[in-house]
């Protein structure tokens, strides 16, 4: 979408965010980062989507092959499939060899521990746990993605609007969470920014690619696990939220960024649905 430059007036934390049709006693108190400012909803297609979290690093010799698998899955499934590349672990440490390019984030490092990522590349698909592990080998991504599409319930639509202000260094995100079925568990909302189109050094087997294009890179300053709903939510209810997100100063080009919003089951960590919008 077209980038809009505007002035944002920050409001004090702990003011209630906007909310639709939810009884007052069930509304959650607004957190710092929520705002009464709004931006038009421009991404409102109704689809059940899957989020692939690709744990990777510039020094990982097998990671370019995993990125190809992710791109193939994006081609196959179109806008129903979203990728987030999380650079973390030993292979993500910057060095003079890659001109000290550093894509690590606090959230990525925390998720590496939370989802027990011990080898690279690894994928976490909609945060579904397989046996005792969340991590899925790249060779199994296609099969697990197809399996999830066949078994997922479409419980929620996430409609989005987003604008970036390069003067105040803020991104304003408006979210409509439309529940399509009764949900009997609490939910959490996550708002992250990813960037594509960055050229750098990538190890590929025994060779180094000097002009590798990095895509879907998780950037810093996300909102993680913000409470959205409590114990249960009825079909037909819509919860509207607005957030101000600080722009990561390491972002190279805001016009090559996307905001990804995903809602999770607070009990199981599984993703209920996910959507993205261009900046």
Give residue 33's pLDDT. Answer: 86
Q: How far apart are CA 53 and CA 124, in angstroms?
A: 5
* Whole-number pLDDT of residue 9: 35
pLDDT at res. 198: 97
Other Cβ atoms less than 10 A from the Cβ of 92: the count is 25
How much is the pLDDT for 119? 95
State the maximum Cα–Cα separation within the chain, in Å, rounded to a whole number. Answer: 60
Q: What is the mean pLDDT of the chain?
A: 90
What is the pLDDT, as a whole number, of residue 5?
36
Domains of the chain: which residue ranges?
24-278
Phi, psi dihedral angles at 185 (to 5 degrees): -140, 155
Q: What's the pLDDT at 229?
A: 96
pLDDT at position 31: 59
Query: 218 φ, ψ to 5°?
Result: -65, 130
Say if CB 54 and CB 84 are below 8 A apart: yes
Half-sphere exposure in the Cβ direction for 65 (13 Å, CA):
13
CA 1 – CA 217 distance, rounded (Å): 19
At the top level of CATH, the class of 24-278 is alpha beta
> Can you tell me the distance from the alpha carbon of 226 to that of 146, in angstroms, rounded to the nearest whole number?
29
Spell out, as residue ranges, where the chain has pLDDT lower than 70.
1-32
Single pTM value for the model: 0.88
């Amino acid at each position: 979408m077209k980038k809009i430059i505007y002035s944002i007036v920050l409001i004090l934390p702990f003011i209630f965010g906007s909310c639709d049709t939810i009884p007052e006693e069930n509304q959650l108190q607004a957190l710092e980062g929520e705002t009464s400012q709004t931006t038009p909803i421009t991404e409102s297609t109704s689809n059940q989507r899957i989020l692939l979290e690709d744990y990777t690093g510039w020094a990982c010799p097998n990671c370019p092959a995993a990125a190809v698998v992710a791109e193939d899955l994006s081609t196959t499934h179109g806008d129903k499939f979203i990728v987030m590349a999380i650079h973390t672990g030993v292979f993500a440490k910057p060095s003079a060899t890659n001109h000290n390019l550093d894509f690590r984030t606090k959230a990525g490092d925390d998720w590496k521990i939370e989802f027990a990522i011990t080898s690279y590349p690894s994928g976490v698909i909609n945060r579904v746990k397989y046996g005792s592990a969340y991590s899925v080998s790249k060779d199994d991504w296609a099969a697990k993605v197809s399996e999830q599409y066949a078994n997922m319930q479409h419980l929620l639509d996430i409609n989005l609007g987003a604008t970036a202000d390069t003067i105040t260094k803020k991104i304003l995100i408006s979210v409509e969470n439309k529940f399509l079925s009764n949900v009997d568990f609490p939910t959490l909302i996550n708002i992250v920014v990813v960037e594509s189109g960055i050229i750098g050094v990538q190890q590929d087997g025994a060779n180094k690619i000097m002009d590798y294009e990095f895509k879907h890179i998780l950037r810093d300053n996300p909102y993680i696990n913000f409470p959205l709903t409590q114990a249960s939510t009825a079909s037909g209810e819509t919860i509207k939220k607005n957030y101000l997100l600080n722009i990561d100063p390491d972002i190279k080009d805001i016009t090559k960024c996307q905001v990804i919003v995903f809602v999770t089951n607070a009990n199981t960590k599984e993703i209920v649905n996910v959507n993205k919008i261009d900046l």
